Amino acid sequence: MKYTAPLILLLALIVGVYVGVELLNLTFVFGIIIPVLAFSVFLIGFTYKIVQWALLPVPYRIPTTCGQAPSLDFIPRNRLESPAGFWETVLRMALEVLLFRSLFRNTRAEVRPGPELAYRSNKWLWAGGLVMHWAMLVIVLRHYRFFLEPVPGLITALESMDGFLELSLPTLYLTDILFLLAVAFLLIRRFLSVQIRHISLPQDYFPLYLLLVIGITGVLMRNGIKTDVAKVKALMRSIVELRFEAQQGIATSFYIHLFCVSLLAAYFPFSKLMHMGGVFFSPTRNMANNNRAVRHVNPHNPQVKIKSYAEYEQEFAEKMTKAGIPLDGD
């Protein structure tokens, strides 16, 4: 049930959108109201989470390191594995965010006959995750053409590079194919691996189902079920400009696509997807390992009044005398 329940829920919502648009003509609800509410929840929730994390105290310097820290001059240090300065830390964070460096270094443990615990490389997970995230980034950037007029040259150039293979007419973008393959791989991996399936929760499957539906409906609208792109852009522009003008004659597949995107946006701040912003606030990643060079004092420690022994003896002299403890003045 933990992987069928999210799918049934998502399919029921899609049927609801279809009925609402096709039979009840609720284009204003699914084209304006729901997207505006969903992205408002996304912006408020995302901002709240970021501010909440930013205000959390981090009293201890706990960077994760596995390389030689700065020491004696003749001992070579590892600037990337054990960054000691600001720019070295920025470089390590950049490699983490852009190339998933820690996931690339991840190994897979398995028990072999014997029994014997063996470790081996696990690069398929890294490749699938990297392809999915980068393809999603390019797809999001390409969609800016629906919100901007005139379309910036950078977006046009990105579209040309993405569709350089010209596999079909209209152009089938390479990132669309890679995105669907990567999401399908990550989903199938959760089904086939007994260990991963055991620790997976419904909230691990739901975003993958949602992304898969978003990708499929997006490709179908461009290469299968045609929709009026001009009206879609007019609708998106009306939302951005706060005019909120519904458009008639747009295919139902677009409203399903838009609803799933809105659902993902509203779900985002309350899910594990918030790792997009949380990675920048990870104290094990965003701190320099300079404990040997700089003394770090916990600013949250309570102030303790320290007494000298003479002050201590003066305060408790009578009790010390009764207890037979000699005083310095004796």
pLDDT tens by residue, 155-207: 999 998 988 777 666 778 999 999 999 999 999 999 988 888 888 999 999 99
Output the average pLDDT for the chain.
90
The partner residues of 107 in beta bridges, in order of sequence, read 121
pLDDT in tens, 107-123: 777 777 878 877 777 88
If you count DSSP H runs as helices and E runs as strands, how many of each does the chain have, helices first? 15, 2
Judge whether 102 and 66 are in contact, CB under 8 Å: no
The pLDDT of residue 49 is above 90: yes
Range name among 31-35, 109-113, 182-186, 227-231 with the lowest pLDDT average: 109-113
Domain 5-322's class? mainly alpha
The pLDDT of residue 71 is above 90: no
Residue ranges covered by each domain of the chain: 5-322
The pLDDT, as a whole number, for residue 298 is: 81
The pLDDT, as a whole number, for residue 325 is: 86
pTM: 0.85
Q: Which amino acid is at 55?
A: L
Q: Is 112 helix (H, G, I), strand (E, B) or coil?
A: strand
pLDDT in tens, 282-292: 989 999 998 88
Range name among 63-72, 180-189, 277-286 with the lowest pLDDT average: 63-72
The pLDDT of residue 303 is above 90: no
Q: What is the CA radius of gyration of the chain?
A: 29
More confident residue, 131 or 70: 131
What share of the chain in percent tops pLDDT 70?
98
Both tokens of 232, joined, read 């879609």
The pLDDT of residue 330 is above 60: no
Both tokens of 51, joined, read 């501010």
- Can you tell me the mean pLDDT for 252-272? 96
The pLDDT, as a whole number, for residue 206 is: 95
Cβ–Cβ contacts within 10 Å for residue 200, how many? 15
Reference 143, options 175, 117, 191, 109; nearest CA is: 175
pLDDT band at 61 (very low <50, low <70, confident <90, very high): confident
Reference 82, options 281, 247, 259, 290; nearest CA is: 290
